[in-house]
Structure 1
Amino acid sequence: MLPKHHRLRSSRDFSRVYKHGKKAVSTHLIVRVYHGDKAQSAQAGPSLLQGEAVTGPKVGITVSQKVHKRAVVRNRLKRQLKAAFRTLLPAIAPSLWVVINVRPGATQCGYGEFLRELEELLTKLEVIHGHS
């Protein structure tokens, strides 16, 4: 599980990433990133930071019922992605917001494949460097 200060929680935050972020697509994942800064966050309203300082990147993970009908499978996919993202946290800028969408067909993926695809997409979006 990721600490609260690393999670996107409100629909307003997700919408901001969808509307203003950059997108990269792979076989099993869609990653959107939004480079927010303190000035934009303070200007945007109380739902973004609620009085807390920017302490690190924030991530939100969505797994639709189109991926799998059973919640237990969707939750397993989310846990694997959170673990993969946690390993990449030190290489990601603190002001970055990331939304990860899981595409249908990802139910056969394991942790290693998610980590590889996530690293590849974040490199493509110039969030991390390819030699990390």
Structure 2
Amino acid sequence: MALPKANRLKSRKDFQAVFREGIRRQSSHLTLRALRPSCSTEPSLDAAINKPLTNSGQLASTQIGISISTKVSKRAVVRNRIKRQITAVLHNFLPKLSPGWRLVFVVKPTAAESKCVSQQFLQELEQLLAQAEVFHGNS
């Protein structure tokens, strides 16, 4: 199950901004890089990078990217399977996430060695999102 287009982090600039300015939380198989939504309403010079506000002034939906390198596995089939499993778990968490966040999940090489991947990813993703205070009610 793919993430909705509004919830996908696509551009290189967005990924770089998250890596440069975001906070980092780690677990055994994943690293979460999270960029908090900026609350400023005045336009800045780098408005393209800090764009969590929509045209109507409300916070945009949370955008999520997944980074998985060939260090995890040389086989694209394995990398894509891991990516699909993470995406499926994240799809369930979308309603619980606070708006405006930009998240990048970096998969560590230990993830390919794990057998019961889905359940483990579910627990780790929930733990990482809670640590970064991305869920509704945390700010």
What range describes the TM-score normalised by the shorter chain of this pair? 0.7 to 0.9
Per-residue deviation at 1:111? 1.2
Using the alignment, how far apart are the partners of 1:73 and 1:88 within structure 2?
23
Tell whether the 8 Å contact from 1:59 to 1:97 is kept in structure 2 after alignment: yes
Q: Gapped runs of 5+ residues in structure 2?
A: none
Q: Which residue of 2 aligns with 1:63?
A: 68
Question: Which secondary structure state, in structure 1, belongs to the residue aligned with residue 61 of structure 2?
Answer: coil
Per-residue deviation at 1:26? 0.5
Tell whether the 8 Å contact from 1:10 to 1:47 is kept in structure 2 after alignment: no
Task: Give the TM-score, by structure 1 length.
Answer: 0.85
Give runs of ≥4 in structure 1 deviating > 2 Å.
Answer: 36-40, 42-49, 52-55
Structure 1 residue 122 corresponds to structure 2 residue 129: yes
Tell whether the 8 Å contact from 1:31 to 1:98 is kept in structure 2 after alignment: yes
Per-residue deviation at 1:37? 3.7
Structure 1 residue 25 corresponds to structure 2 residue 26: yes
Larger radius of gyration: 2
Q: Which letter does structure 2 place at the counterpart of 1:120?
A: Q
Of the candidates 88, 98, 101, which is equivalent to residue 96 of structure 1? 101
The CA RMSD over aligned residues, in Å, is: 2.3
Using the alignment, how far apart are the partners of 1:83 and 1:38 within structure 2?
30
More helix by share: 1
Q: Give the direction of change, closer, same or farther, for the CA distance of 1:35–1:48 in structure 2 (3 Å limit).
A: closer
Task: Give the TM-score, by structure 2 length.
Answer: 0.81
Question: Which secondary structure state, in structure 1, belongs to the residue aligned with residue 105 of structure 2?
Answer: strand
Q: % of aligned pairs identical?
A: 39
Using the alignment, how far apart are the partners of 2:35 and 2:60 within structure 1?
16
Per-residue deviation at 1:76? 0.6
Q: Which letter does structure 1 place at the counterpart of 2:97?
A: I
Tell whether the 8 Å contact from 1:57 to 1:96 is kept in structure 2 after alignment: yes
